[in-house]
Amino acid sequence: MKDLPQPSRAELDLSRILRALSDPTRRSILRALVDGPRPCSAFEVDIAKSTLSQHLKALREAGLTHTRVDGRHHITTLRAEDVETRFPGLLRAAGIPGTSQADSQ
């Protein structure tokens, strides 16, 4: 297994995250990840696989997701804790439910 490159928690950049969140398809991907990690094939989006890959890459490079390669599978996880720590309430404000610390209490 290996992890694809991504920014550390300290390197998360608000403008890059906001750019990634500006796309409705990316927000729907993040909403799907609230329930837990998913392989690329498990996303129910009406776009080409190559387009999905580009969206997943943009989310990972912005620091919103973490991708682990396990053989031929790419498993994507929402980095809600990292984003919430750096920018409290941002994901919830972007319409990603269940991601703020207030939701956990």
Collapsed DSSP state (helix, strand, coil) of residue 22 = coil
- Print pLDDT tens along the chain (105 aa): 788 899 999 999 999 999 999 999 999 999 999 999 999 888 888 899 999 999 999 999 999 999 999 888 999 999 999 999 999 999 999 999 876 654 444
Kindly give the pairing relationship between strand 73-78 and strand 38-39.
Answer: antiparallel
Decide: 78 and 30 in contact? Cβ < 8 Å: yes
pTM of the model as a whole: 0.89
